[in-house]
Amino acid sequence: MSRIAVVTSSPPLAEGGHMVIARSLVQALREAGHEADIVLTPQNRFGRQGAAYLSTWLTDLGVGEGGTIDQVITLRYPSYAVRHERHVCWLNHTMREYYDLWERFSRPLSPQGRFKERVRRRMLHAADRYLLTRNVDRLFTISATVRERLAMWPSLRAGVLYPPAPQRPYRCEGYGNFIFMVSRLTPLKRADLLLQALASPEGKGIAAVIAGDGGERARLSRLVHEYGLGDRVTLAGGISDEELLRYLAQCRAVCFPPMKEDYGFVTVEAFAARKAVVTCVDSGGPAELVEDGVHGFVCEPTATGLAARLRALMDDPGLAERLGAQAHTRGAALTWPDTVRQLTIP
């Protein structure tokens, strides 16, 4: 068996899906008999990413405590800049402001600021292209959505390898009378779209629990009051793993309507709890996993479109159960042993 370093980057004091992937992968590698650990590389504050790329490039992971490191598996920019002769990249995140979010990011900048960021963007693209073609032996992405961001380089070949759900004791305790959403509360997660759906005529009477923290929480709280949803919507804030499992076990279905999400672990976690997922056609990873009418619903990103699908599930518990059972079968096809097999070099 091999000694493997799972390498990812993380801003200080940040916790996100990339760390869930890293920890789950390390656990799966250890269960497969490998010696594995996480190595964190720097991700400097915005505007200083070049220093993070350089320091990571200067990091040689050929040797660790007790001897040679046999392989590295890198996950997130700029961790794939580390050097190792046996290097697999399972790309879960690029710097989206310089890829698919460029127009959104650059639009409010001054002409001088836009010029400066355009130069930085070109430099980062050049670095990414070199590293992902010359510095890695195998390249996978966690979704077709992430792979599409690399489409500007036709010569770059990447397979799609969907992560399974984290290894937790998921369960189903029935199909309660509320919709569940869990996410970091940022604009791209579009929790406000769920609130708009609940405030629409089609969403009348539907209750929801929205879990998570982030910069949008104060605004969402104001919207709950403005829309008159105080008796139907609970903003649960940050929750423990035990609370997450309980909400998944008891909800009618999960709503996750982000914009161009890299992957969205909550989708496969809902599947593991036998719950259907309602997402949107432009939601990225979740829309790849959910087949409309089979594992949940994939609708237009509008309040009326979302509300109609939620109403169908709330009016028919049997439908929620049938779609949840099919979602469970879909999620069960994604396994950590198979993931480890594809990511390790014999």
Residues 324 and 281 in one domain: yes
**Pick from 110, 128, 161: which residue ends a domain?**
161
Which one of 114, 132, 161 terminates a domain? 161
Given a cut of 70, whether residue 13 has pLDDT beyond it is no
For residues 143 and 166, give the distance between their C-alpha atoms in angstroms, rounded to a whole number.
Answer: 16
Six-digit token string for 136: 């890695």
Q: Report pLDDT for 46.
A: 63
User: Which domain CATH number covers 238?
Assistant: 3.40.50.2000
Strand partners, 160: 141
The pLDDT, as a whole number, for residue 83 is 92
- Do 296 and 149 have their domain in common? no
In a domain, 125, yes or no: yes
pLDDT of residue 113: 86
pLDDT of residue 104: 87
Domain match, 57 and 184 both:
no
Higher pLDDT residue, 16 or 9?
A: 9
Residue 346 domain-assigned (yes or no): no
Q: Does the pLDDT of residue 145 top 70, yes or no?
A: yes
Average pLDDT over residues 223-228: 96
Task: Say yes or no: 115 and 61 in one domain.
Answer: yes
Q: Does the pLDDT at position 33 exceed 90?
A: yes
| Rounded mean pLDDT, 66-72 | 90
**CA-based nearest residue to 28, from 38, 16, 36:** 36
Boundary of a domain, candidates 100, 127, 161:
161
pLDDT band at 103 (very low <50, low <70, confident <90, very high): confident
Q: 282-329, pLDDT tens digit by residue?
A: 999 999 999 999 999 999 999 999 999 999 999 999 999 999 999 999
- Classify residue 67 as left (phi > 0), alpha (psi -120 to 50) or beta: left
pLDDT at 45 over 80: no
Is 344 within the bounds of a domain? no
167 is a domain residue:
no
pLDDT band at residue 106 using 50, 70 and 90 as cut-offs: confident
Q: Checking phi first, is residue 328 left (phi over 0); if not, alpha (psi -120 to 50) or beta?
A: alpha
pLDDT of 64 above 90? no
d(CA 104, CA 234): 30
Q: Do 254 and 147 share a structural domain?
A: no
- The answer as to whether 337 is a domain residue is no
The reply to whether 145 and 11 lie within a common domain is yes
Determine which of 261-265, 275-279, 297-301 has the lowest per-residue pLDDT on average. Answer: 261-265
Give residue 266's domain range: 179-332
Residues 236 and 131 in one domain: no
Per-residue confidence band for 198, with pLDDT thresholds at 50, 70 and 90: very high
- State the Cα angle at 200 between 318 and 234, rounded to 5°: 70
Residues 194 and 310 in one domain: yes
Based on the domain organization, do 37 and 122 belong to the same domain?
Answer: yes
Overall domain count for the chain: 2
Indicate if 157 and 300 belong to the same structural domain.
Answer: no
Q: How confident is the model at residue 70 (pLDDT cuts 50, 70, 90)?
A: very high
Give pTM, 2 decimals.
Answer: 0.91
Question: Can you give the pLDDT at residue 12?
Answer: 65
Residues 142 and 204 in one domain: no
**In a domain? residue 249:** yes
Asked if residue 170 is part of any domain, the answer here is no
Is residue 171, in this structure, part of any structural domain at all? no
pLDDT of residue 154: 77
Same-domain check for residues 137 and 205: no
